[in-house]
Amino acid sequence: MLVSDLKSPENQGRIAMETLERKVTYLELAERVQESVSSLIGAGVRGLCIDSGDPFFVFSWAAACVERGLPVVLGSLERLLDWEDHHKKRVSVTHSCDGKSLSVLSKERASEGSLELGPKDVVIMTSGTTGKPKLAVRSWESLGHAVHERQTIRGRRWLLTYEVNRYAGLQVFLFALRNAGTLIYSQVLNFENLRRLLLDKRPHCVSATPTFWNQILRTVPRDELMGVPMEVATLGGEACSQKVLDALKEIFPKSKLTHIYASTEAGVGISVSDGLAGLPVEILEKGHRGTEIKIVDGELLLRTPTAIDSYLGGDSVVDDDGFVASGDMVHVESGRIIFTGRKSARLNIGGFKVDPTELEDVANSVAGIVISHFKGRPNPILGQILVCDIVVREGHDPQKVVGALREVMAKRPRHHFPRDIRVVDEIACSASGKIKRNGNEDQ
């Protein structure tokens, strides 16, 4: 989106971005972009590293780079330098020019042998499946591959529940602006702020993780939720249960409910809107809008039109046939491909492989539990023992809730029964709304 698009007659007076504290019109956004463009002219800049969770700040500088034909690195300078140290390669020598939020990739200070970024490159930071810093290089064109203008969502209000400098956040960000909508976001990204925005700002479109939706369903009174004029509700980023899908459809019967399967590496792979958990098994043979999938040793692999071949620095992303290993474990059941959790999140409990998300889905159905987290605690004899943290809903007796959970889990295999259940005030979730496990939750 260019400055001329922001200033189009259709956008006159429209609100482009909104927080609890301020509103920004499309005209004000265009003026800020133009100021950023002016500051880049003649400055000897070969690109910018933008470290901010504020969509207004990110867009102002990223759009300026698009106008000037400069690459953008989204994320912290510290992580960029960590990547350089780990790979013994250099993108460029960088220096801060705006506190911790903006750093310059400088032509004059780039060292010999530095990796060159193209004028349209957008670098997104990810930890991959190993936890080590990786840089995924995309173009604005590939980021917008699945972002279309649709009259049915034009001018709608979009709630941003993801970090704007991550792949999922960028998709929401681009969809809102491409369709002359209003992007609603929080300066501090946490559940309570997002919950307040959902109820106060009443968005039409919300894309979030199943964990986020589950917490909303369990903490917001039904009548308040029904007051949100929901038209599009999407779920992604992790396995989604049928219970969450059914609950959302009941509360928002007129909304389009979509499960999106995407990743930084593969791009947007598959989207389904049939209201059923998982993916139709027919996709294994027929594919889906140019995306092919297969299952190897229980892991889902994808070949998509917008997959990147490798990370910056040469680490391969695809196999010899062009498929991306997703790290997501699946199985086929009743004509559906059902997601059972991340390969890296599996626990080894007494020699048994345990998927914590499966147990959390069971626990979250117990009355009084807002959210649960099953994890392994090191044990010198068994390797790991299973333990569980739960957040109890206000007004419920914690001891009774724990007792009810023990009764439910006692009906399952022995290695599914937690040795210890703790009642906690909160469970740590990443900015994208996923439970933090092994430090790899922000894909």
**Is 150 contained in some domain?**
yes
269's CB contacts (< 8 A; 6+ apart) are 261, 262, 263, 288, 291, 293, 302, 304
Round to whole Å and give the CA distance between 406 and 414: 12
**8 A C-beta contact, residue 438 and residue 345:** yes
Mean pLDDT of the chain: 87
- How is residue 100 annotated by DSSP? B
Do 95 and 184 lie in one domain? The reply is no
Between 146 and 36, residue with greater pLDDT? 36
Give residue 117's pLDDT band: very low, low, confident or very high (50, 70, 90). Answer: confident
CATH number (domain holding residue 235): 3.40.50.980
**CATH (domain of 127):** 3.40.50
- 100 and 186 fall within a common domain: no
User: Is 310 part of any domain?
Assistant: no
- Is 327 a domain residue? no
Q: What are phi and psi of 76, to 5 degrees?
A: -80, 145
Query: Is residue 443 very low, low, confident or very high in pLDDT (cuts 50, 70, 90)?
Result: very low
Helix (H, G, I), strand (E, B) or coil at 275: coil
CA neighbor of 183 nearest in space, from 162, 159, 207: 159
pLDDT value at 127 more than 80? no
- Alpha carbons 173 and 321: distance in angstroms, whole number: 32
Nearest Cα residue to 60 out of 70, 73, 45, 50: 50
Helices marked H in 8-53: 26-40
* pLDDT band, residue 128 (cuts 50/70/90): very low
Model pLDDT, residue 269: 84
406 lies in some domain? yes
Number of domains in the chain: 3
138 within domain boundaries:
no
Q: Based on the domain organization, do 72 and 168 belong to the same domain?
A: no
Pair 12, 91 in one domain = yes
Residue among 75, 111, 116, 118 at smallest CA distance from 93: 111
The pLDDT value given to residue 96: 52
Residue 206 lies in domain: 144-254
124 and 48 within one domain: yes
- pLDDT, residue 91, reads 72
Burial grade of 117 (CB within 10 A; 0-12, 13-18, 19 or more): buried
SS3 426: coil
